[in-house]
Amino acid sequence: MQTTRRSAGVLAAFAAPCVPLAALGLPLVVYLPEYYANELGLGLATVGAIFTWVRLVDVVFDPVIGAVMDRTRTRFGRFKPWLAIGGPLLFLSTLMLFFAQPGVSSLRLWIWLPMSYAAYSICVLSQTAWGSLLSEDYNQRSRVYGWWQSLNMVGILLALLLAALPLLAPAIAEAGRSASVQAMGWFILVTTPLCFGLALWKAPEPAAPVAIHATSWRDYAGLFANAAVRRIVGVDLLIGIALGIIAALFFFFFERVKGMSQAITGVLLLLYFVSALAFAPLWAHLARKLDKHRATALAAAATGLAQVAVLLCPPNNILATAAVIVLAGVPYSAAALLLRAMMADAGDELRLKTGVDRTGLLYALVACTTKFGSALAVGITFPLLSAAGFHARGDGDPSQGLQMLTVLYIAAPVVLCALATIMMLGYRLGPQRHGEILAALEARNANG
């Protein structure tokens, strides 16, 4: 494992696959559920059920593939070969999901949505676990995942620019959401081979331990015996559900409650992620000043407060809404990069206690919580909206279900973020303790 400071070029190459991965991850939670329910006519209940069940089944996939990655030994590395496997699967599933036509059957979604999630899981898990090996330094890990999160934001922003095509090019506005979705699909298809190839070519992977340890479900459950792991996973789940709700209901809330057009709402979402990208370096800086867990608590509290500001923003006021959206985007990047950097530190603590490297399993845990959170966000909110009489296609009474929409979009994230803030303040694996862990690992290695 390397302790030296990685160059910006190496970290940029390592993070490059985030561009197509983020461009896929955004529509999976923001655009595709609404697109299949509304534009392609499958309906809220059907789409909510498919996305929820596929996502929940996909959660089981992560610990399995994480354990397999931990046991992988090749001359190219432990995690890089899996990134090479995931890329073509990502390409194929994107082709099948993003270019469906009206009248498509739910069977197509049942087949290709799990394939897309599996490809996404393989790629994200292998890349985030690989990142934990690029440095063992407490602060440098924030820098590694800062690059990772920044390139995620770049991918999201580029995807959002394509999603805003109907506004930027009125000549294609008649195509509606389908033009946006297909443009994002083409972007993923073009950037996947380029960005994955750059990472596999230019970014190194430090050698894995020679010993290979068998993994059982007991090992996976045993990770929760570690206090740091429990808090990281708990906070990741809470914030994941909160951000998943915001993503899943963003268009519904701003179009129906705040009176914005579909095109303006797309621009608001773009501003949200521009802000997230611009302020991503701030959170790596605050992690050095406050320690990672305190910076995460601050970001969770800021996310909850931003939702209150959204509620207070007057309807049909584009400038005021845009200003609030920019503020809401400030803390977006924090949890993803800081919690993954913290999981690398927890992995060192577990390795000291057990003598076993469980990097793949640890990052499978945060992958599971992220997916579980977004699955719950769609699986709970869509049926509740449907039960309250809300109509995704805009037919029926337009005022029906708006109170439920407001409660779900505003109150639920506020409560979840408050719980995450409280949980993070009890975290104890700071830089001093991590330094002691590294010294003990070094001494044990020196003694054979």
The DSSP output letter for 40 is: S
Question: Mean pLDDT, to the nearest integer, of 163-187?
Answer: 71
Residue 334 vs residue 5, higher pLDDT: 334
- What CATH number was assigned to the domain covering residues 8-446? 1.20.1250.20
Whether residue 230 has pLDDT greater than 80: yes
**What is the tens place of the pLDDT at every residue in 279-314?**
988 998 999 899 999 999 999 999 999 999 999 999
Count of CB atoms situated within 10 Å of the CB of 322: 15
Q: Tell me the average pLDDT across 168-177.
A: 57
Give pLDDT tens digits for 68-97.
888 888 888 889 999 999 999 999 999 999
Kindly state the average pLDDT of the residues 131-148.
90
* 337-358 pLDDT per residue, tens: 999 999 999 999 998 888 888 8
CA–CA dist 305, 10 (Å, integer): 37
Least confident range from 89-103, 211-225, 379-393: namely 211-225
For 12-29, the pLDDT digits (tens) are 999 999 999 999 987 887
Query: What is the per-residue pLDDT for 161?
Result: 81
Neighbours of 301 (CB within 10 A): 18
Contact partners, residue 116, CB within 8 Å, separation at least 6: 24, 28, 90, 93, 94, 97
SS3 content of the chain, % helix, strand, coil (to 5): 80, 0, 20
Tell me the mean pLDDT in the region 193-205.
94
Neighbours of 36 (CB within 10 A): 25
pLDDT at 148 over 90: yes
Structure tokens given for 377: 């966000």
Q: Mean pLDDT throughout 100-124?
A: 89
**For residue 2, is pLDDT > 80?**
no
**H helices present in 216-291, as ranges:** 217-222, 227-252, 262-290
Output b/e per residue, 417-431; b: 16+ Cβ within 10 A: bbbbbebbeebebee
Let me know: does 123 contact 83? Beta carbons within 8 Å.
Answer: yes
Residues in the chain, total: 448
Q: Among 215-219, 263-267, 404-408, whose mean pLDDT is lowest?
A: 215-219
Record the tokens describing residue 446, joined without a space: 């020196």
